[in-house]
């Protein structure tokens, strides 16, 4: 049995620095949260006990949960919405490392490495999440090595994706990277519709370009080319994939 002791987590912030509402009455879908690797090795009773220790938060688009360079003391699991993880250069340029959605976890690196946060976490849609402080997590891992193993496996998968992304930046042209990014977003956020797969990614054109690692003009040119070929249809912060097979071949 996991002892219950609710620990504080960081408050989200508006881009200007003000604190938005942070409600402990936010209702987060526990079934979605339990898909995260943190719960993979727990039975139902222990999972509910762990959930009782987690603090809920609600964020609007643009709210910042934590910034690159800040001290990290919590991990988070998304119940609803999307979070972007990104880095900024000294001249203000931004790069998106990942877009995370329901059931996905982030911030766990702070448990194994006490250094500052390596990325900034920002909501790209209305988001509900649960946070767990490192003190509570350390107590859990002390007696549950199988949970530690699940967390390390999640970190290894993230490292693998990062390596693949770096390889794509070197070996794949921009249209290929655009196709691959759209397919990845479709796998996690897409829903079948009559014409194809509707992907509500909630990203601006600039954010999509940052995710691909290219200029907005170059990414827009690739999207326009795909649309002209009948492979997709562009929507507001969404895209309708009409020919997934063609996109897969272009992503190789």
* Model pLDDT for residues 51-101, shown as the tens digit of each residue: 999 999 999 999 999 999 999 889 999 999 999 999 988 887 888 999 999
At residue 251 the predicted structure's pLDDT band, cuts being 50, 70 and 90, is very high
pLDDT above 80 for 3: no
Measure the CA–CA gap between 78 and 56, rounded to whole angstroms.
Answer: 10
What residue has token string 């390889």? Answer: 167
The angle, 0 to 180 degrees and rounded to 10, between the axes of the packed helices 174-189 and 244-251 is: 130
C-alpha separations of 154 from 10, 57, 87, 204 in Å: 22, 23, 21, 28
Please work out, in degrees rounded to the nearest 5, the angle formed at the alpha carbon of residue 219 by the alpha carbons of 215 and 222.
145
CA atoms 208, 124, 238, 32: torsion sign: positive
Say what the pTM is: 0.84
Tokens read off for 143:
């007696």
* Model pLDDT for residues 183-206, shown as the tens digit of each residue: 999 999 999 999 999 999 999 999
């Amino acid at each position: 049995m996991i002892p219950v002791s609710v620990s504080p987590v960081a408050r989200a912030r508006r881009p200007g620095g003000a604190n938005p509402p942070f409600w402990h009455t936010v209702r987060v879908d526990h079934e979605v949260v339990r898909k995260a690797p943190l719960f993979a090795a727990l039975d139902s009773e222990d999972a509910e006990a762990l959930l009782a220790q987690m603090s809920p938060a609600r964020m609007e688009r643009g709210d910042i949960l934590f910034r690159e360079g800040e001290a990290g003391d919590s991990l988070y699991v998304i119940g609803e919405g999307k979070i972007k993880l990104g880095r900024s250069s000294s001249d203000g340029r931004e790069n998106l490392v990942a877009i995370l959605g329901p059931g996905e976890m982030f911030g766990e690196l702070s448990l194994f490495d006490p250094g500052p946060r390596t990325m900034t976490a920002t909501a790209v849609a209305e988001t509900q999440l649960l946070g767990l402080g490192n003190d509570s997590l350390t107590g859990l891992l002390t007696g549950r090595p199988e949970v530690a193993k699940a967390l390390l496996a999640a970190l290894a998968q993230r490292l693998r994706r990062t390596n693949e992304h770096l390889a794509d930046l070197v070996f794949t042209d921009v249209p290929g990277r655009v196709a691959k990014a759209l397919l990845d977003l479709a796998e996690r956020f897409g829903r079948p519709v009559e014409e194809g797969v509707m992907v509500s990614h909630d990203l601006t054109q600039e954010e999509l370009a940052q995710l691909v690692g290219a200029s907005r003009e170059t990414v827009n040119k690739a999207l326009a080319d795909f649309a002209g070929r009948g492979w997709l249809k562009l929507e507001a912060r969404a895209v309708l994939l009409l020919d997934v097979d063609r996109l897969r071949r272009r992503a190789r």
